Amino acid sequence: MITDQLKTLAKLKSQAAKLEAALEAQRPAALAALPAEYGFPDLKSFIAALKQAAGAKPKSKRGRKAGGKAKAAKPAKRKRAKVTDEIKAAVKAALEQGRKAGAIAKEVGISTASVNVLKKAFGLTKPRGAGATSPDPVVIE
């Protein structure tokens, strides 16, 4: 009983494969006939009508039309903060008072990363781990 069903299934799969192959062979001719079937002289005008029906805007061969919406200007690139000697002195004094790098950065107007670089340059960082030694201070000019 099961073997009969398996044979029937194999036969139906074979028929389905043959039908798919026949459809694949017929598809190019059917697609090529669509423009004439809908009354269009060529493929280009048929595609243009399809795009219009789908709501696509036609491509403009000219530039932007007068009175068109202008693109928003890109914001200017942010200028990098200049770390002056006064800023270095203020950061060092604040670090020696035990203040946090984030608070110092906001007050002075530089990034937290810059504060941490200065902290390392001043030799105010703690070494990592039990066997670590303090690094030599980095010279920042």
Residues 10 and 49 in one domain: yes
Angle between helices 101-108 and 112-121 (to 10 degrees): 110
**What is the Cα–Cα distance from 61 to 141, expressed in whole angstroms?**
56
Ranges of the chain with pLDDT below 50: none
**Helix segments in 77-125, DSSP class H:** 85-96, 101-108, 112-121
Range of the domain at 9: 2-54
In-domain check, residue 68: no
What is the CA angle 94-99-102, rounded to 5? Answer: 100
CA nearest neighbour of 118 among 52, 132, 65, 99: 99
In-domain check, residue 66: no
In-domain check, residue 75: no
Tell me, rounded to whole angstroms, the distance of Cα 17 from its chain centroid.
42
Residues 48 and 90 in one domain: no
The total of structural domains in the chain comes to 2
